[in-house]
Structure 1
Amino acid sequence: MTEAPLTAREYRDLLSAALEEAITADARRPTAHTLFTPDSHRSALYVDNVVVQGGRGVGKTFWYWSLLDETLRGLAADEYRINRLRRLRVAPGYGLASRHDCYPGPMVLRGLLERGEDPYDIWYTVLLASLGQPDLLGLTEWADRIAWVRAHPGPAERTIEEADRRAYEDNIVHLLIFDALEHLQAERRQTDRLVGGILRLALQMRFATRSIRLKVFVRPDIFEAARHHFADASKLSAYSARLEWTPTDLYGLLFHYLGNEDGDTARRFRESTGGWVPEGDGSRQAPPRLLSGSEQAQKDVFEEIADPFMGSNVRRGKTYAWLPNHLMDGRGQVSPRSFLEALSTAAETTRSNHPDHGRALHHEGIRAGVQKASARRVEEVSEDTPWVELAIKPLAGYQVPIPEATVLSAWKEANLSAVLAEETARYAQADTPDLVRTGPRHPDDLARLITELIELGVMNKPRSDGRLDLPDVYRIAFGLGRRGGVPRSQA
Structure 2
Amino acid sequence: MEIEAKNAILRGISECAPENGAGEDEPQETILQNFLPLRSYGKLADPKVFLITGGRGSGKSELFRVLTSCSGLEHVISDKDRKRYTGLKKGEFLVGYIATGAESKAFPSQGICDELLKKEKPERLASFWGGLVCAVLLRRFADDMDVKELADRYFGSKLREELQNHGSEVSRWWKEMDTQREKWESFLDKADDCLGKKGKSVSIVYDELDRICSSYGDLFSYIRSLLDFWFQHNNRLANIKTKIFLRSDLYKAKALQFVDASKMRAYHLELSWDTLSLYRLLVKRMANAGIERLTVYLQEVPGLLSGEKDSAIGYLPGNSEAAYECLVEKMIGKYMGKVPKRGVSYAWVPNHIQDANGQVAPRPFLKCFVLAAKAMLEHADDIAALEADRILAPSRLQGALGEVSIDRVRELVNEEYRWLQNLINRLKGKTMLMEREEFLEYLSPEHWQEERDRLPGKNSFEILQALLELGIVMQSPDGRINVPELYLYGFGLKRKGGIKRPK
Question: 1:272 is matched with which residue?
Answer: 300
Cα distance change, pair 371–426 in 1 and its aligned pair in 2 (3 A): closer
Number of the residue aligned with 1:432: none
Alignment partner of 1:349: what SS? helix
User: 1:321, CA displacement in angstroms?
Assistant: 0.6
**What is the TM-score of this pair, normalised by structure 2?**
0.81
Alpha-carbon spacing, 1:79–1:477, altered in 2? closer, same or farther (3 Å): farther
Residue in 1 that maps onto 2:147: none
Gap change, CA 1:264 and 1:75, over 3 Å in 2: same
Question: In the alignment, which of 446, 449, 467 is matched to residue 421 of structure 1?
Answer: 446
Q: Aligned match of 2:437 in 401, 405, 408?
A: 408
CA separation of 1:33 and 1:203: change in aligned 2, threshold 3 A: same
* Alignment partner of 1:459 is 2:484: no
Structure 2 equivalent of residue 34 of structure 1:
34
* Partner SS for 1:93: strand
Match of 1:366 in 2: 397
Counterparts in 2 of 1:198-277, with a 5 A limit?
Answer: 198-225=226-253, 228=256, 235-236=263-264, 238-269=266-297, 271-273=299-301, 275-277=305-307
Contact 1:18 1:261 in 2 (8 A): yes
Partner residue of 2:161?
138
Q: Match of 1:69? A: 69
Task: Give, in whole Å, the separation in 2 of the partners of 1:80 and 1:6.
Answer: 43
Residue 190 of structure 1 corresponds to which residue in structure 2?
218
Structure 1 residues 177 and 283: alpha-carbon distance in aligned structure 2, compared to 1, 3 A threshold: closer
**Match in the other structure for 2:487:** 474
Quick check: 1:306–1:361 contact (8 Å CA) kept in 2?
A: yes
Are 1:128 and 2:128 matched, yes or no? no
Separation (CA, whole Å) in 2 of partners of 1:370 and 1:262: 26
CA–CA distance in 2 between the matches of 1:338 and 1:308? 22
Query: Deviation digits for residues 429-483 of structure 1, max 9, x if unmatched?
Result: xxxxxxxx141x25244xx6544433221222354x4444321111223233334
Change in Cα spacing, 1:239 to 1:185, as seen in structure 2 (3 Å) is same
Kindly state the Cα deviation for residue 64 of structure 1 after the two structures are TM-superposed: 1.1
User: Percent identity, aligned pairs only?
Assistant: 22
- 1:23 Cα deviation after fit: 1.8
Q: Is the 8 A contact 2:8 2:291 kept in 1?
A: no
Number of aligned positions between the proteins: 465
Q: 1:6 to 1:78 in 2, by over 3 A?
A: farther
Contact conserved, 1:477 with 1:489, CA < 8 A, in 2?
no
CA pair 137-73 structure 1, distance change in 2 beyond 3 A: farther
On the 8 A contact 1:200/1:233 being kept in 2, the answer is no
CA contact (8 A) 2:353 2:486 kept: yes
Q: What secondary structure sits across from 2:34 in the alignment?
A: coil
The 1:393–1:152 alpha-carbon spacing in structure 2 relative to 1, beyond 3 Å, is: closer
Q: Is the 8 A contact 2:64 2:205 kept in 1?
A: yes
Shift of 1:8: 2.9
Matches within 5 A, 1:356-395: 356-358=384-386, 359-383=390-414, 384-388=416-420, 390-391=422-423, 394-395=426-427
Decide whether aligned partners of structure 1 residues 233 and 213 sit closer, same or farther in structure 2, where only a CA change above 3 A counts: farther
Q: Report what 1:51 is aligned to.
A: 51
Other-structure match for 2:344: 318
Secondary structure, counterpart of 2:273 in structure 1: coil
| Matched-pair contact (CA < 8 Å) for 2:395–2:501 | no
**Secondary structure at the counterpart of residue 324 of structure 1:** helix
SS in 1 for 2:354: coil
Q: CA RMSD in A?
A: 3.3
The runs of 5 or more residues in structure 2 that have no matched partner are 139-150
Please, which runs of 5 or more residues in structure 1 have no aligned partner?
A: 429-436
How far apart are 1:202 and its partner, in Å? 1.4
Counterpart contact for 1:374–1:472, Cα < 8 Å: yes
- The match for 1:431 is none
Pick closer, same or farther for the CA change 1:19–1:285 going to 2, 3 Å. same
Match of residue 343 from structure 1: 369
Shift of the 72–79 alpha-carbon distance from structure 1 to 2, 3 Å rule, reads: farther
Shift in CA distance, 489/262, structure 1 to aligned 2, threshold 3 Å: closer
CA change 1:104–1:388 in 2 (3 A) is: closer
For the residue of structure 1 that corresponds to 2:17, the secondary structure is helix
Please report how far the alpha carbon of residue 5 of structure 1 lies from its aligned counterpart in structure 2 after TM superposition: 12
Work out the CA distance in 1 between the residues paired with 2:491 and 2:79: 40
Partner Cα separation in structure 2 for residue 424 and residue 41 of structure 1: 44
Contact 2:284 2:317 in 1 (8 A): no
CA drift at 1:251: 0.6
Measured after TM superposition, the shift of residue 216 of structure 1 is: 1.2
SS at match of 2:243: strand
Question: TM-score, structure 1 length as denominator?
Answer: 0.83
Summarize the Cα distance change of 1:9–1:115 in structure 2 as closer, same or farther, 3 Å threshold. same
Amino acid paired to 1:23: G
